[in-house]
Amino acid sequence: MTSKVVVAGVGMIPFKKPGQADGYAVMGGQAVRLALADAGVGFQAIQQAYASYIYGDSTGGQRVLYDVGMTGLPIFNVHNNCASGSSALYLARQAIASGEADVVLAFGFEQMNPGALVNHFSDRASPLELFMQQCEGLAPPEVPSALRLFGAAGREHMKRFGTPLESFAKIRAKASRHAANNPLAVFRKVVSTEEVMADQVMWPGVMTRLMACPPTCGAAAAVLCSEAYANAHGLDARVWIAGQALATDGPETFKSGDARHLAGFGMSRAAAKRVYEQAGVGADDVDVVELHDCFAHNELLTYEALGLCPEGGAQKFIDDGDNTYGGRYVVNPSGGLLSKGHPIGATGLAQCFELVSQLRGSAEQRQVDGARVALQHNVGIGGAAVVTMYRV
């Protein structure tokens, strides 16, 4: 990266269940205004904008921003499946680092419908059809496609390393404890490991209902700028992006016979490796992590993909409490997708909101003491994995 990029402002609205939220234009506008106010800049200062979502109108970004202001700025609409929010952030950061712009807005939103989150996985849409073909026979046919894919990845870990189902239940219980302190999370009820295990079985021996994230509506936004612009205009320049990488699938996804790669393990590991090289620091230096826990199974896999623990070491990592307060890292202090919610286009920007809050020391009851290095992971099947490191 050629120019230091600062996260000058962030904004996020409370996530809600489908049917209980405003329309996407209202939600998106609210998040954008919050980010602008947090940065201390007016909309007229924004030189480019990147909007992320996967449902809705083809120019949804324009629909949102036209209610905020009409300045004629370039607006780009980004669809990269569940990694859309971080992909918008990536493009915004890239525009500043290249010198193309000084102040850029990244925002995401999603207005979802009730029902299974997996409806956005089409068995007929290329290239996702390739993933579904790989999952044929791995689960009962009535199991929804996304659950089949991530469940198969978790089952692969269970087979290879003897990981018990209880490990995934412990992740979900941990998410609920974290979300209890997050007023923006959609689910704030604390559940125990035993309650997760006893919930409705979605795939015998592999997954219960509470191990999957819920469909959610919401929006989040971030204002990025160059360090020079921040200093010249008196903006908060404490939090900056020390490394960022976007990776897509490699040959191992379909050739390895390893279901973990179908869920993004390989591209997540590749993106993390590049980020550590860019930043000049490794996983051991990280204090707080927001990662893509669309299923508890994916959180467990991602511990290893990001190098938070050795491959095959996730069960011990969980049992030792190294994924929560008092342990080696605090993973998903927001409650993650499992409890905070997963409005797909907003997810990556909501992760950014949480980590910037942590590094500023403004996360209140969720605050990770002494947090100075934060890591973000956002993955979309089909595929894209974005890993971002923030520092103060």
pLDDT tens readout for residues 213-261: 999 999 999 999 999 999 999 999 999 999 999 999 999 998 898 999 9
Identify the pLDDT of residue 127.
56
Instruction: Answer yes or no: is pLDDT of 328 > 70.
Output: yes
Long-range residue pairs from 233-237, CB within 8 A, at least 24 positions apart, any chain: 233/40, 233/41, 234/40, 235/6, 235/8, 235/9, 235/39, 235/40, 235/41, 236/6, 236/8, 236/9, 236/39, 236/40, 236/360, 237/6, 237/8
CATH topology of domain 5-115+214-391: Peroxisomal Thiolase; Chain A, domain 1 (3.40.47)
Identify the pLDDT of residue 145.
82
- C-alpha distance across the termini of the chain, in Å: 17
121 vs 148: CA distance, rounded Å: 11
Name 301's Cβ contacts closer than 8 Å, sequence gap at least 6. 153, 154, 157, 260, 263, 265, 314
352 classed as catalytic? no
Instruction: Answer yes or no: is pLDDT of 141 > 90.
Output: no
Please state the domain extents for the chain: 5-115+214-391
Confidence band for 143, pLDDT divided at 50, 70 and 90: confident
Identify the pLDDT of residue 118.
46
Name 361's Cβ contacts closer than 8 Å, sequence gap at least 6. 367, 371
Mean pLDDT of all residues in 73-98: 98
Catalytic residue among 82, 294, 309, 352: 82
pLDDT averaged over every residue in the chain: 94
Instruction: Answer yes or no: is pLDDT of 3 > 90.
Output: no
Closest listed residue to residue 381, CA positions, set 280, 267, 263: 263
Identify the pLDDT of residue 58.
93
Mean pLDDT of all residues in 10-26: 97
| Vertex 358: Cα angle to 55 and 9 (nearest 5) | 60
Mean pLDDT of all residues in 30-39: 98
Identify the pLDDT of residue 169.
98
Confidence band for 115, pLDDT divided at 50, 70 and 90: low
| Vertex 264: Cα angle to 260 and 266 (nearest 5) | 80
Confidence band for 140, pLDDT divided at 50, 70 and 90: confident
Identify the pLDDT of residue 123.
46
Identify the pLDDT of residue 137.
64
Task: Provide the token pair at 385.
Answer: 């994995």
Instruction: Answer yes or no: is pLDDT of 117 > 70.
Output: no
Mean pLDDT of all residues in 121-129: 52
Identify the pLDDT of residue 142.
75
Mean pLDDT of all residues in 113-133: 58
Please tell me the pTM assigned to this model: 0.95
Mean pLDDT of all residues in 358-371: 98
Identify the pLDDT of residue 146.
87
Instruction: Answer yes or no: is pLDDT of 210 > 60.
Output: yes
